[in-house]
């Protein structure tokens, strides 16, 4: 079983950046950008002993809205139930219980998130985004 912590002082920034920089959603994100995103988010680390094996962050107002981002378990630790434990802990953490709207984007983990109540947009025609390339 993994330990999940919201203590930012335990986060291993190099582990996080090394994974994110190779992901499809954060390719090339610099170490300074990773630090800034951590400073401005509610973060979760997943640990086996002292080794960080996972990370997630939530951008939130702690009242209405929570946006789940940058979620990962390192590849060598997948298929052991850690992702499910991680998402369950994030969804049930006391600091976020008043949030009624949760969002995330994923290209390949729909099956995992559906187990925890995430669905396709109910009214996609009401959702807009602004992408800066």
Domain ranges in the chain are 3-126
pTM of the model: 0.93
| Predicted confidence (pLDDT) per residue in 61-83, tens digit | 999 999 999 999 999 999 999 99
| C-alpha 36: how far from chain center | 15
Which CATH superfamily includes the segment(s) 3-126? Gcn5-related N-acetyltransferase (GNAT) (3.40.630.30)
Question: Any bridge partners for residue 103, and if so which?
Answer: 67
Structure tokens at 49: 């002993």
d(CA 129, CA 133): 13
| Predicted confidence (pLDDT) per residue in 10-34, tens digit | 999 999 999 999 999 999 899 999 9
């Amino acid at each position: 079983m993994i330990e999940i912590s919201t203590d930012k002082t335990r986060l291993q920034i190099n582990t996080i950046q090394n994974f994110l920089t190779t992901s499809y959603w954060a390719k090339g994100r610099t170490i300074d950008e990773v630090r800034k995103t951590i400073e401005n988010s509610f973060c979760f680390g997943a640990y086996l002993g002292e080794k960080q094996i996972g990370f997630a962050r939530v951008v939130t107002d702690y009242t209405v809205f929570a946006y789940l981002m940058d979620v990962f378990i390192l590849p060598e630790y997948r298929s052991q139930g850690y992702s499910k434990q991680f998402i369950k802990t994030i969804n049930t953490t006391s600091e976020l219980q008043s949030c009624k709207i949760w969002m995330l984007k994923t290209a390949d983990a729909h099956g995992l998130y559906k187990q925890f109540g995430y669905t396709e947009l109910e009214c996609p025609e009401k959702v807009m985004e602004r992408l800066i390339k």
